[in-house]
Amino acid sequence: MASKVTTLLSCALLLVAATCQAAAGYYNPPSPGTCGLKVGYYHDKCPHAEAIVKHVVRAAVLQNRGTGAGLIRMLFHDCFVEGCDASVLLDPTPANPQPEKLGPPNNPSLRGFEVIDAAKAALERACPGVVSCADIVAFAARDASFFLSGRRVDFDMPAGRLDGRVSVASRTLDFLPPPTFSLSQLVASFAAKGLGVEDMVVLSGAHTVGRSHCSSFVPDRLAVPSDINAGFANFLRGQCPANPSSSNDPTVVQDVVTPDNLDNQYYRNVQAHRVLFTSDASLLTSPATAKMVSDNANIPGWWEDRFKAAMVKMASVEVKTGSGGEVRRNCRVVNY
């Protein structure tokens, strides 16, 4: 027990230090191993755990590639709020009527919950009470990246996370950066979670897949004047109402060139001013991040290698271990 407490304390102290270092510009994040995570964590406890999740994710992506995009986004939305603890999966209850999944950044756009349910059900049949929902979310994001990238984004995901018991909708607004953020706001948001500027730029590349509701960028990006490409703006005006509402809020693809592929096309879109969000366009507003955009756009394999590392870093944010969490029997409810 003492060693577990020491590990948790080390993690917490490193994350605090990392946040300060990020603000100072020399961020060096805690490794997953420091936080009790390791590759092959289920090798003895549930040998086929990762293969089971991969099988479920493959079937889901084959049926609808947009689901894969949702699974990648789910990891980000989970980790940035209460840490990587599957708190985003919890359903409303009388005791907690407003969990994270009902927060404005998640409802109704976050998708993939049924894939996590299917993977959990299969794992409970294979090895009951062993694999946490938080690890399933991390594995699913990794596997979705693999399939959507044509197997080019292939990496090991350390595991050992436990599931959290706290999930509050309002906290999504506190920690998830909205699409209207400026560069400095984005940097601060990622630094608060122990992630550096390059991590932010690299993880933004996930906007090369998936769809967005018109309300996420109208009228902000379609106002005149704007840096957005005029032809692209006219295309979006043809897809979106001038004043999106809950009853009229269509979706558009985030990458009009390769909408179903996880690749570096996003960065070419940023350079061409053909991106949906203010936060996307902001990557060109400093020489340092503009250089990162250029490297990711033009150097073969550059973005993919960095995306793998950034995903592992993000998936180790504020993980629950020891007495700090549990392995849920059902990903949608805490154990009782």
Same domain, 159 and 280: no
Name the domain count of the chain.
2
2 within a domain of the structure (yes/no): no
What CA–CA distance (Å, rounded) separates 257 from 259?
A: 6
Please, what's the largest Cα pairwise distance for the chain? 62
Give the mean pLDDT of 9-30: 37
Instruction: State residue 31's pLDDT score.
Output: 56
The candidate with the shortest Cα–Cα distance to 294, out of 320, 318, 268, is 268
Asked whether residue 172 is domain-assigned, the answer is yes
Specify if 265 maps to a domain: yes
Q: How far is CA 167 from the centre of its chain?
A: 17
Q: Is the pLDDT of residue 214 over 70?
A: yes
pLDDT in tens, 228-237: 999 999 999 9
CATH number at residue 261: 1.10.420.10
Buried/exposed code over 250-273 (b: 16+ C-beta within 10 A; e: otherwise): ebbbbbeebbbbbbbbbbbbbbeb
Same-domain pairing of 282 and 302: yes
Confidence label for 23 from pLDDT (cuts 50, 70 and 90): very low
Q: Give yes or no for residue 56 having a pLDDT over 90.
A: yes
213 catalytically annotated: no
- Please tell me whether residues 63 and 158 are part of one structural domain: yes
Q: pTM (2 decimals)? A: 0.90
Mean pLDDT over residues 71-94, rounded? Answer: 98
47-56, 82-91, 190-199, 214-223: the lowest-pLDDT one: 214-223
Residue 258 lies in a domain: yes
Tell me the average pLDDT of the chain.
91
Q: Is the pLDDT of residue 168 over 80?
A: yes
Q: What percent of the chain has pLDDT over 70?
A: 90
The tens digit of pLDDT for each residue in 169-198 reads 999 999 999 999 999 999 999 999 999 999
Residues 149 and 111 in one domain: yes
Q: Does 18 map to a domain?
A: no
In this structure, the answer to whether residues 216 and 293 fall within a common structural domain is yes
Which tokens is 298 given? 């033009």
Residue 25 belongs to a domain: no
pLDDT, residue 269, reads 98
pLDDT for res 298: 98
Residues 222 and 171 in one domain: no
pLDDT at residue 226 in the model:
87
The domain containing residue 232 runs over which residues? 183-310
Residues 38, 155 share a domain:
yes
Q: What mean pLDDT comes out for the span 147-155?
A: 98
Q: What is the pLDDT of residue 308?
A: 98
Are 142 and 191 part of one and the same domain? no
* Residue 26 counted as domain residue: no
pLDDT of residue 32: 63
190 and 248 share one domain = yes
The pLDDT assigned to 9 comes to 38
pLDDT digits (tens, 9 = 90+) for 306-327: 999 999 999 999 999 888 899 9
10: in domain = no
**pLDDT the model gives residue 15:** 42
CATH code of residue 49 = 1.10.520.10
> Do 264 and 157 share a structural domain?
no
Point out the catalytic residue in the list 55, 77, 213, 273.
77
> Is 203 in the same domain as 224?
yes
Domain shared by 112 and 228, yes or no? no
Q: Give 251-301 pLDDT, tens digit per residue.
A: 999 999 999 999 999 999 999 999 999 999 999 999 999 999 999 999 999
